[in-house]
Structure 1
Amino acid sequence: MALSYLSGFGNEFQSEALSGALPVGQNSPQRCPYGLYAEQLSGTAFTAPRDSNARTWLYRIRPSVSHQGPFQSVDLPLWETAPRPAAAGLALGPLRWGPPPIPGEALTFVTGMRTMTAAGDARVQDGMAAHLYFATRSMEREYFYNADGEMLVVPQQGGLRFATELGVLEVTPGEICVLPRGMKFRAELLDGPARGYVCENYGARLALPGLGPIGANGLANPRDFQAPVAAYEDQAEEARLTVKWGGAFHACAIAQSPLDVVAWHGNYTPYKYDLRTFSPVGSVLTDHPDPSIFTVLTSASATPGTANVDFVIFPDRWMVAEGTFRPPWYHMNVMSEFMGLIYGIYDAKPDGFQPGGMSLHNAMLPHGPDRNAFAKASTEDLGPVKQSGTLAFMFETRFPQQVTDFGANLETLDKDYVTCWDGLEKHFEGTP
């Protein structure tokens, strides 16, 4: 069955699964239509400025207080939360991993979460964590919400269906979705085992970046973001709700599905976006612009112009700059870059970076093209060339990203990564 979506980013949406379920004129009337309960889900402080205030009114069969019981601690040791120390014994330097195989054991989107890096401090709502997820079975009568941060999901292999309180989103490789902090959901497999990446953002909500001199159009267009339409479950059967709160996990038995919202209106919603609709901008004559021109979403920090998290992609695009070294140049950066490849070839590491793999270049550690990429880009014909069939991304943060023990011991860690820069010859032609 094809799903319907509402289009736009950050807009005030409204949706009802039953005609007349949305109250008219009042958010919380004395008696809601159909005997529903009114409940507000706030993603920002009540007093946040109007242009950044995020909240949605839910009209549901039972209020959320009915979807919880006595909680018990749950052990998910491979899903970690900042702050955390660096992995013991891991030497300082750039890191790269090949694509890890999907485990053969039964794992859901939640139990298959594996933290690679953590940065900042979730307790003060700053920073992020970069995760891999492996899912080999759907969640059945199992529900989850994250009280620590919103979750940006980047599928790399296999699709997922997220049944949320506000409706259903289906995402496949090449698309992303964002699950807001506090939003209950269930994740199901669309087409077999799934693997991908998650950015757990502890800070300000992800938003579209400002365009500045670019003007009114370009990059990710608001109209291409899609929110779900209302779809409720009226199921009175025992289920399980797990909550991530303060870096720990807690679960309780509940007597019915918590996805019982019949109607809703607001601007605090889950949403999806097709990365292939991104409209790149770039150099049309000379020189190499900063990679920030490929920012899809950004989480602001208290320092203007320095993000808590940026989500950046490197999609299909034309390369036309003349007399210019086209791949990313050698650089050191105050930001820390966790990079992944969804499909295709990444031009700065054509031989060593594989789909499903990842790399980490932490703050002020030098990195750039490998020897072969440098040699090719320095000598090739610079006619117009289209980068096709490629989609890489970056989770970039102002905080150092501490690698977890799982990441440090992952069997696909490339222990010889730094040797990709061996053989960079001295070309200096000056004389003393």
Structure 2
Amino acid sequence: MHADWEDLKYLNGFGNHFESEDPRCPNALPKNQNTPQNCPYDLYAEQLSGTAFTAPRETNQRTWIYRILPAVLHEPFSPIKSGLLTNRWDLSEPNPNQMRWKPFSIPSTKDEKKDFLDGLATVCGAGDPCSRHGASISIYGCNSSMDNRAFCNADGDLLIVPQHGSLRITTELGRMLVKPQEICVIQQGIRFSVAIDEPSRGYVLEVFDDHFHLPNLGPIGANGLANPRDFEIPTAWYEDRDCDFTVVHKYQGSLFESKRKHSCFDVVAWHGNYAPYKYDLRKFVVVNSVSIDHLDPSIFTVLTCPSLKPGTAVADFVIFPPRWSVQEHTFRPPYYHRNCMSEFMGLITGKYEAKAEGFQAGGATLHSCMTPHGPDADCCEKAMTDELKPMRIAENSLAFMFESSLSFALTKWSMTTSAGIDHDYFKCWSSLKKHFTGPK
């Protein structure tokens, strides 16, 4: 790992208004105004708006950036192949089955060169980026760094979950080192590039509607779940580098590229509340029942992208970290259920408590709207006979869920054997026994 990346400094706090200058250019931020006639160091002023100008103050997001050359300086966009990345949901037939994928492949360095963008493959999704409503889920597998090119998603925000290998992410607003068991969010319109030190794999959630928020805590009170202070925002860092540079632009579900003669990572200073961030999932403050019954997975929500329907999310990001289980007179694993939501699960490390076998790190499951699911037969039988003493569960394990009110459609790629489908997934319930004793 590059030592300078391990020593990166961050700003702290979710949704705060920050200001940052690259220390090589002190006083680069203009004083008392945003757009002076001449900016310090002869920089260009540019505003990046994440919400409408007239959005209420409590939801308004924008950042002023001061850069060597403005973003507008590039050749016209030209379409390029999108590979396995798609937002088209009408190209395959509906499939309500319980789905499980074996660990998605990581391209070897002996294989074709693939960077983060090349290695993106969409698994499922719903909605339309043109009307700004929907979400998609992709995986990435890469064996090389993005050299002299950046990615910009005009369709929505990206939540990135590394599973194998750390990501060195350079954004217009600074740099972040994101390791497995950490996540990062890069908002709509922010350009970024990903470098790696080893072949890497992970998951990506894209939302079209809104930005991610911390969930309301309700009766939990002021503290718990993900603390705002634990979210880390990069500090300004720039490179003044003349080179052949490409920006790949995702727009209305398709990819385009534009050429320029200068690195796009030339922001010397910035201030605002629209900035990428990272979060260490091991800092999550778990809340759970200490009496009876298994509570709903909503208590494990880290971030949410709300819909216009109160209490209903376009997408929630939920984790299942190590914790104590102490409930009495209770079936402790997740209960069997059918849900009006879609549930996509991934495993970062270890074994998931409700399916210790078959569900592997780097793989995934999808339980679609109203498709029944729950613990496998072995987990169920054990839970019905276990001594209910306090115990640690999910030790050395970390699973997550992307849960959505949308009914996800699978892509053609995700339904092929090349995606590693576990066709025997349904069998994990086939040995469930009838325990019914009948009327006395």
**TM exceeding 0.5:** yes
Match of 2:101 in 1: 97
Give the partner amino acid of 1:3.
Answer: L
8 Å CA contact 1:87–1:408 kept in 2: the answer is: no
Alignment size in residue pairs: 428
1:293 aligned to 2:299?
Answer: yes
- Alpha-carbon distance in 2 for matches of 1:147, 1:203: 12
1:361 aligned to 2:361?
Answer: no
Match of 1:65 in 2: 72
Match of 1:127 in 2: 134
Match of 2:225 in 1: 219
Equivalent in 237, 241, 261 of residue 247 of structure 2: 241
8 Å CA contact 1:128–1:200 kept in 2: the answer is: yes
Equivalent in 241, 247, 258 of residue 252 of structure 1: 258
Give the partner amino acid of 1:404.
Answer: T
1:101-120 matches, within 5 Å, as 101-103=105-107, 104-120=111-127
Equivalent in 335, 338, 348 of residue 341 of structure 2: 335
Segments of structure 2 that go 5 or more residues without pairing to the other structure are none
8 Å CA contact 2:83–2:118 kept in 1: the answer is: no
1:316-355 matches, within 5 Å, as 316-355=322-361
Equivalent in 374, 396, 413 of residue 421 of structure 2: 413
1:6-405 matches, within 5 Å, as 6-17=11-22, 18-66=25-73, 68-81=74-87, 83-85=88-90, 87-88=92-93, 91-103=95-107, 104-189=111-196, 191-387=197-393, 388-405=395-412
8 Å CA contact 1:86–1:403 kept in 2: the answer is: no
Match of 2:435 in 1: 427
Give the partner amino acid of 2:99.
Answer: L
Name the stretch that deviates more: 107-116 or 95-104: 95-104
Name the stretch that deviates more: 158-167 or 91-100: 91-100
- Alpha-carbon distance in 2 for matches of 1:345, 1:423: 21
Segments of structure 1 that go 5 or more residues without pairing to the other structure are none
- Alpha-carbon distance in 2 for matches of 1:127, 1:314: 25
Give the partner amino acid of 1:11.
Answer: N
Taking structure 2 as the reference length, the TM-score comes to: 0.96
Give 3-state SS (helix, strand or coil) of 1:63's partner: coil
Give 3-state SS (helix, strand or coil) of 2:355's partner: coil
- Alpha-carbon distance in 2 for matches of 1:33, 1:204: 34
Taking structure 1 as the reference length, the TM-score comes to: 0.97
8 Å CA contact 2:137–2:206 kept in 1: the answer is: yes
- Alpha-carbon distance in 1 for matches of 2:20, 2:245: 26
Give 3-state SS (helix, strand or coil) of 1:243's partner: strand
Name the stretch that deviates more: 264-273 or 28-37: 28-37
Runs of 4 or more consecutive aligned structure 1 residues displaced over 4 Å after TM superposition: none
8 Å CA contact 2:96–2:368 kept in 1: the answer is: no
Task: Provide the alpha-carbon RMSD of the alignment.
Answer: 1.1
Which whole-Å deviations, capped at 9, do the CAs of 1:140-195 have from their partners, x for residues lacking one? 11111000011100000001111100000110100000011000111100x30110
Give the partner amino acid of 2:98.
Answer: P
- Alpha-carbon distance in 2 for matches of 1:77, 1:168: 27
Percent identity (aligned): 51
- Alpha-carbon distance in 1 for matches of 2:90, 2:378: 35
- Alpha-carbon distance in 1 for matches of 2:221, 2:13: 19
- Alpha-carbon distance in 2 for matches of 1:101, 1:407: 12
